[in-house]
Chains A and B, each alone.
Chain A
Amino acid sequence: GDSVTQTEGLVTLTEGLPVMLNCTYQSTYSPFLFWYVQHLNEAPKLLLKSFTDNKRPEHQGFHATLHKSSSSFHLQKSSAQLSDSALYYCALASSSFSKLVFGQGTSLSVVP
């Protein structure tokens, strides 16, 4: 079945340094990939999602590139901000109307 792997449980970064959170997936199909972000005591919300036409999605300074050859959709940002501290989930959907399968999440802590 479909699965998503996020290898880092906790990432601690100094403000201003680049961010990269890893996400790899397994799927029988050519899935859609997503990043969701959850701040403390808030609901998870969509950060960005892959396009079907290979465009690179970007939002709030974050971007991710879908690499089908390596089954990866890593999340990146050039300069971390304190407000980026949150829990980040990578997810996939095998088709337009199917459920989302989530990874275990990566907790990002940005310190001064």
Chain B
Amino acid sequence: NAGVIQTPRHKVTGKGQEATLWCEPISGHSAVFWYRQTIVQGLEFLTYFRNQAPIDDSGMPKERFSAQMPNQSHSTLKIQSTQPQDSAVYLCASSSGAGNTLYFGEGSRLIVV
């Protein structure tokens, strides 16, 4: 079991550019979550999917952030017109459903300069 795989592990992008982050959940897990991690805010919920359907995107900054799950083996988080305040570690997690145990990937560190 390879665990949750996130790519890229590190990304540096210029202000105003687009950044796309990928996540491959654990095979067989029905739910995929995206969180943003910063020192100041801790782990902030962004969005989640269950059986590929978007369930809750209440944490997403609506104007520039979007997430998709086109198939059960991967999800993407896209940030358009990146800003320095978007710099953070973006964590993806998957879950088998009941019991809420999340299995996290190692994250994608985004730096906007």
Interface, chain A (partner B; CB < 8 A): 32, 34, 36, 41-46, 49, 89, 91, 93, 96-105
Contact = CB atoms under 8 A, between A and B. Distances in A.
Interface string B59-73: 000000000000000
Contacts of B104: 43-45
B42 A46 contact: no
B42 A96 contact: no
Contact of A43 (B44, B45, B50, B105): B105
Nearest to B3: A43
Contact of B100 (A32, A43, A103): A32
Interface of B: 3-4, 31, 33, 35, 41-45, 48, 50, 56, 91, 97-107
Given A43-B91, A43-B107, A97-B50, A104 B100 contact: no
20 contacts: A36-B102, A41-B106, A42-B106, A43-B4, A44-B43, A44-B91, A44-B104, A46-B102, A49-B99, A91-B43, A96-B99, A97-B50, A97-B98, A97-B100, A99-B48, A99-B56, A102-B35, A102-B44, A104-B41, A105-B42
